[in-house]
Amino acid sequence: MDRTTAATRLHLIAAGERLFAERGINGVSVREIAAEAGQRNTNAVRYHFGAKEDLVGAIFEHRMAPINARRTGLIESHDLEGRARDPYAVAEAFTLPMAELLREGGAPSWYLRFCVQATYTVSPDAVVMQPAQLGERPHTQGLLVLYRRAMELTAGLPDTIRAQRWHHFCSFVVHALADRELRTSVGRAAHLDNPPADRGPGGGTMPLDLFVADLVDTATALLTAPARSWTLRSATAGATPLGRTI
């Protein structure tokens, strides 16, 4: 691939990511993406990627490659520290590589909101891939390691609950980071010295590091929370109507 083609693809990926994040996958046409990327050829997306869904996949791969590299580096560091079975280490390795996109002083980020939009309009598995898919692509190898460790940490629970815990864990972190990303972008657009994302419920500030630390703690709790006896019985004998739990 020559430099011009590579540069054009990157422009289209960046434009698609931002527009998809702001307006949703179905709210943007490939012609609009081409125009936003400065392409005179309105069929540039189809020429370089194929269908709109192929561009969505290219955005994931473009972003997930460096995220995976950072994630596998954290996993290796945690292993050297003897934290391979530490649930907080699992949560950190999942969360930190994405949270670093939100660092103050860095370029504005749209990827986390793009992830949420892709989940709702392209595939329910866009954010939380099925376990069988995790080993299929190089940029998901870190996720595969974390999934296996999450399954070890929840080994005492029924398989259906273990799978649901992983889904809750991943979805919670991505949605929380996407919300932070949105609030930060609103603050930047309004030229505020103290953007809404930095305000806690009491009106005080919550720096990004504290926000992420609390997010890791909460995600760990989601993954490792004890299951009630009713939940365990329902998982093994068939669920009772929901009203029985309220």
Report pLDDT for 223: 96
Quick check: 203 pLDDT over 80?
no
Residue 36 lies in a domain: no
Q: What is the pTM of this model?
A: 0.86
How does residue 189 score in pLDDT terms, banded at 50, 70 and 90? low
Report pLDDT for 137: 78
Residue 235 lies in a domain: no
Residue type, 202: G
Q: What end-to-end distance do the CA atoms of the chain give, in Å? A: 59
Residues 151-167: what's their mean pLDDT? 94
Residue 197 lies in a domain: yes
A 10 A CB-CB count for 156 gives 10
Quick check: 21 pLDDT over 50?
yes
How does residue 46 score in pLDDT terms, banded at 50, 70 and 90? very high
Residue 33 lies in a domain: no
SS3 199: strand
Quick check: 238 pLDDT over 80?
no
Residue 144 lies in a domain: yes
**Alpha-carbon distances of 228 from 8, 152, 156, 157, 203, rounded to whole Å:** 54, 19, 13, 11, 36
Quick check: 36 pLDDT over 70?
yes
> Can you say whether the dihedral through the CA atoms of 227, 116, 65, 131 is positive or negative?
positive
How does residue 202 score in pLDDT terms, banded at 50, 70 and 90? very low
Residue 28 lies in a domain: no
How does residue 184 score in pLDDT terms, banded at 50, 70 and 90? confident
Which residue's structure tokens are 């009491």? Answer: 202
Burial category of 110 from C-beta neighbours within 10 Å (exposed 0-12, middle 13-18, buried 19 and up): buried
Residues 101-118: what's their mean pLDDT? 87
Residue 130: domain span: 52-226
Which residue's structure tokens are 């020559």? Answer: 2
Question: By the 8 A CB rule, do 60 and 71 touch?
Answer: no
Residue 193 lies in a domain: yes
Number of folded domains in the chain? 1
Residue 231 lies in a domain: no
